[in-house]
Amino acid sequence: MTGGVDIGGSGPALLFCPADRPDRYAKAAQRSDVVILDLEDAVAPASRPGARAALAAHPLDPTRTIVRVNPHGSADHTADIAAALAAGYRTLMLPKAESAAAVRSVEALAAAGGTTGIGLVVLCETAAGVLAAPQLAAEESVAALMWGAEDLVASLGGSSSRLPDGRYRDVARHARSAVLLAAGAHGKAAIDTVHLDIGDLSGLADEARDAVASGFRATACIHPDQVSVIRDAYRPSAEQLRRALALLQRAEGEAGVFRFEGQMVDEPVVRHARALLERAEHTV
């Protein structure tokens, strides 16, 4: 992919911004690591033509911008893709993705317009999409997978993704893990979903810390106040960095399994330390 977004490498906080609010574009870019200009759920159908025009009229850095188009088969899908590519964006988010055929259709539309080398973030947010996550992740143009709780539960005929205490229901937790595993199995980035309760910064922090510890590369959000919480959660602490550096230095002189600060250390633990140092390079 040329000129697209490096998921995770640009930073962990991905902020949604309605594409029909160009007055918010620059502020969203300033406040986040990556902006997701949303042509789908955040924009009423009647406002989508104007939102598509705004993409070109108010350009952002394409290496830090994703455009969420409408789903494959929808009335706005083709026009959204054409508008995003014409505006210079090369990373598209495909919502309600359910098949490799949908991914290839986007590739074909881009190629027909003279654009190659696009990157796709596929949203696995229906029952069919979660089950298709391994096939979606295997597609070459797919740069990342993201999951979504609310559309998933709606696709099942349910009414709430969370328990009264705020924790996700088991079906949502299963979907989250399934998407993460599918992404990891194919060497793709995984993005954790949004935390809809804007005022619950503590809950967001807990989920973001779990996300990065589990292997997610980034977390999406819906409000600028959530950005710093996500960044803090993904940023290794000074003590974590000290320990990782010391562990790696010790590992250089060891031929196999060894004990370090009371813990047995083998190759997977060494890889954990390397991943933590790499993450430190991409969090501000």
Q: Which residues pair with 80 in a beta bridge?
A: none
Residues near 14 by Cβ (< 8 Å), separated by ≥ 6?
Answer: 32, 33, 34, 35, 36, 66, 191, 218, 219, 220, 221
User: Is 48 marked as a binding-site residue?
Assistant: no
The Cα 166–Cα 168 span in angstroms is: 7
Question: What are the CA-CA distances from residue 167 to residues 115, 204, 206 (Å)?
Answer: 42, 11, 11
What is the distance, to the nearest Å, from the Cα of residue 263 to the centroid of all Cα atoms in its chain? 33
Strand, coil or helix: 189: strand
Contact yes or no for 70/102 (Cβ under 8 A)? no
The Cβ of residue 284 has, within 10 Å, a number of other Cβ atoms equal to 10
Q: Which residues pair with 144 in a beta bridge?
A: 121, 189
User: Is 151 marked as a binding-site residue?
Assistant: yes
Contact yes or no for 93/121 (Cβ under 8 A)? yes
User: Is 68 marked as a binding-site residue?
Assistant: yes
Contact yes or no for 39/80 (Cβ under 8 A)? yes
The Cβ of residue 3 has, within 10 Å, a number of other Cβ atoms equal to 14
Residue among 247, 138, 131 at smallest CA distance from 184? 138
The Cα 15–Cα 223 span in angstroms is: 7
Strand, coil or helix: 120: strand
Strand, coil or helix: 232: helix
The binding site for substrate comprises 68, 125
| Binding site listing | 68, 125, 151
Q: Which residues contribute to the annotated binding site for Mg(2+)?
A: 125, 151
